Structure 1
């Protein structure tokens, strides 16, 4: 931060060597680098936009000319570049850094780019790239066609806060791990990944969510709602974590009725919205499980572990919800209940006592959760 401020001050800016010059000199002295990581200090990243009034590009790290100055000298050695740009300077400057990297580096294995506006015109095939992370990026690839085409051998893909998408499709046959955080802009999300094992998806209200992943074992899904959820060949999910609006619970759970090996379910529907805090929500949740069971003729026969974050508003509704779940899960032997910290300690204690006495064969854990604070485990293995 002090260096940045000194570079802006009329009294001291002549004493500061520009960062880009310093970096280029370092690269020239180290021609065989395999990994390069450059970024802006966190203290600058967290400053409000109003504090920046100039139109400088001295910290625009995905600038085409800057990358062209240093990257070619490392084209034969580098395999893992990471560039975290200065969003204040990069958000309104469209960068051709991605095509430049793809045409210059022939053996990249891992690539990380953050805080940039990236063009994809002229993007070249990168068959060696197996790990790609784009974070807080505006990407001119509205359907992800160029990503699928030019990076066909990706095994790990992280798309965190990537804008510019409309109807994105992930179609990668070698993809094994994916973390995707999507805004509310895309109308549909389509994922076809036969080798995908671990998938974390956070979205808002897509009209269509289509997933085809026959190898998927661990699925973490966070969304408010969707008009249509389609799962194709997803019957091997063992660990399912749902963070959904409680009023969508019945529909979403019914889509997973073909997951015949599911043994761990985590439900977190109270943190998403204030609408889940009333007693009506608990009626909805209890009836949701009954609806799933009756309409689809299914019970969670393989479920062995349940983790739930709950709000105790009226304890009889909470009892009804928990009992409804356990009555439908024949093999369930491990339950973790995290109760909101606003609950009275006597109420929480009574809840656990009743659960323990009614289902003596279950191992009960309970703890406390609050917004913005890590869950606290109070009792382990009651």
Structure 2
């Protein structure tokens, strides 16, 4: 390898995902060691094995402290543009209830540790990612945000996970465009400080951020928002005039206020809301709607005519007494211009119980539907076939059907279902696949 040109060797070193591998390369080769200071990124993750060895008396004396390893790596680099430090996923899943750890060797948002390396490399930093060890960080409040905002004037991307954060003394970061806070405890009852100090954020990910009672996002430049709330706030407010993509998962809030006029892609997972306050979404084209009370939620929707691609999911469904319309007919009433429709297993099961009744009204409702994707459990193959045939009979313009059959369905039933559907309609482009919770969908075959 020493015979390779230095630029190529440097490119190889730059592509190493783990800085621990970089350290091994430096020990193995004088040439690689001489080039290593030119690397512009550090990525060091503590494994569960390393953590276990550091806690075991026979091996702990031979383990270099994780923070010291990181400091040694970063101190040798001339210019640092990206820093990622944290614990690997198996270690992140360790619960405080499972192990009480009074140490701070993996408390990575701790002020003294951050001060030991950040001021030295902050000048060129563009990206910082810190994934803390929750067992050590959950009961220690960190002011890492104020340190980063004070030093990293050119930072573009910031990610912090598994920490108890303070927003005291955080100063505005006008260059930051991507912010991720995941499994974070905040003292504040709202997000006003985030709105104030990160005015240029275009991509915002808030995953499991707790301690919020009436959270409000008000960011003028925001384009993409992924927001998963771990508690049940009284109200949720999103004001973002340039937002294009929104993924929101929450429990039943009393009020949901959305002011996002340019929104085109919405993924909403919600049990329901006491009140929807949504200004017109004229550009909404793609909608993923998930709810345990889907029928009740649909009647509350104040928009829907612009939606072209619709996915609906329900993990719990109950049909009101005296139901007169199938779930598909109800969906197409709320979203009359849908061309592509995806029904997950819970919704399809309800559809099988209450299929399309037929008639001119149903055919008018479904004339724009061209593509349907469905996830089938096939409890009764004749019922499933009857439901599929009712779609074909009422959707005069349908040209594509993708049917995913549960992996537990016996192969003879699957084969019979496929053959009879393709025989019923040869004009449709059929695609067949398999699904099961926790596994990746797999294609079986296409129509011939």
1:266 corresponds to which residue?
311
Q: Structure 1: state its 5+ residue gaps.
A: none
Q: Distance in 2 between matches of 1:146 and 1:329?
A: 51
Q: Distance in 2 between matches of 1:295 and 1:9?
A: 61
Cα drift, residue 138 of structure 1: 1.3
Larger deviation, residues 226-235 vs 140-149: 226-235
Cα drift, residue 336 of structure 1: 2.2
Cα drift, residue 137 of structure 1: 1.3
Is the Cα–Cα contact under 8 Å of residues 291 and 297 in structure 2 kept in the other structure? no
Q: Distance in 1 between matches of 2:425 and 2:296?
A: 24
Q: Distance in 2 between matches of 1:330 and 1:228?
A: 37
The 1:350–1:210 alpha-carbon spacing in structure 2 relative to 1, beyond 3 Å, is farther
Work out whether 1:45 is the aligned partner of 2:92. Answer: yes
1:375 corresponds to which residue?
441
The 1:289–1:4 alpha-carbon spacing in structure 2 relative to 1, beyond 3 Å, is closer
1:364 corresponds to which residue?
430
Match of 1:287 among 321, 326, 330: 326
Q: Give the secondary-structure state (helix, strand or coil) at the position aligned to 2:326.
A: helix
The 1:40–1:297 alpha-carbon spacing in structure 2 relative to 1, beyond 3 Å, is closer
Which structure exhibits the higher relative contact order, with contacts defined as CA atoms closer than 8 Å and separated by 6 or more residues? 1
Q: Structure 2: state its 5+ residue gaps.
A: 1-47, 338-364
Cα drift, residue 176 of structure 1: 1.6
Is the Cα–Cα contact under 8 Å of residues 95 and 134 in structure 2 kept in the other structure? no
TM-score between the two structures when normalised by the length of structure 1: 0.83
Match of 1:248 among 280, 290, 294: 294
Is the Cα–Cα contact under 8 Å of residues 153 and 174 in structure 1 kept in the other structure? yes
Larger deviation, residues 80-89 vs 1-10: 1-10
Work out whether 1:162 is the aligned partner of 2:162. Answer: no
The Cα offsets for residues 17-61 of structure 1, whole Å up to 9 and x where unpaired, read as 322223223333325211111012334334454553330111100
Q: Distance in 2 between matches of 1:77 and 1:169?
A: 32
Cα drift, residue 92 of structure 1: 1.0
Larger deviation, residues 347-356 vs 37-46: 347-356
Q: Greater Rg, structure 1 or structure 2?
A: 2
Larger deviation, residues 162-171 vs 87-96: 162-171
Q: Distance in 2 between matches of 1:322 and 1:286?
A: 17
2:110 corresponds to which residue?
63
Q: Give the secondary-structure state (helix, strand or coil) at the position aligned to 2:115.
A: helix
Match of 1:116 among 160, 163, 176: 163
Is the Cα–Cα contact under 8 Å of residues 371 and 400 in structure 2 kept in the other structure? yes
The Cα offsets for residues 257-300 of structure 1, whole Å up to 9 and x where unpaired, read as 5332x33222332xx24x57xxx69x969533434556898846
Work out whether 1:104 is the aligned partner of 2:170. Answer: no
TM-score between the two structures when normalised by the length of structure 2: 0.72
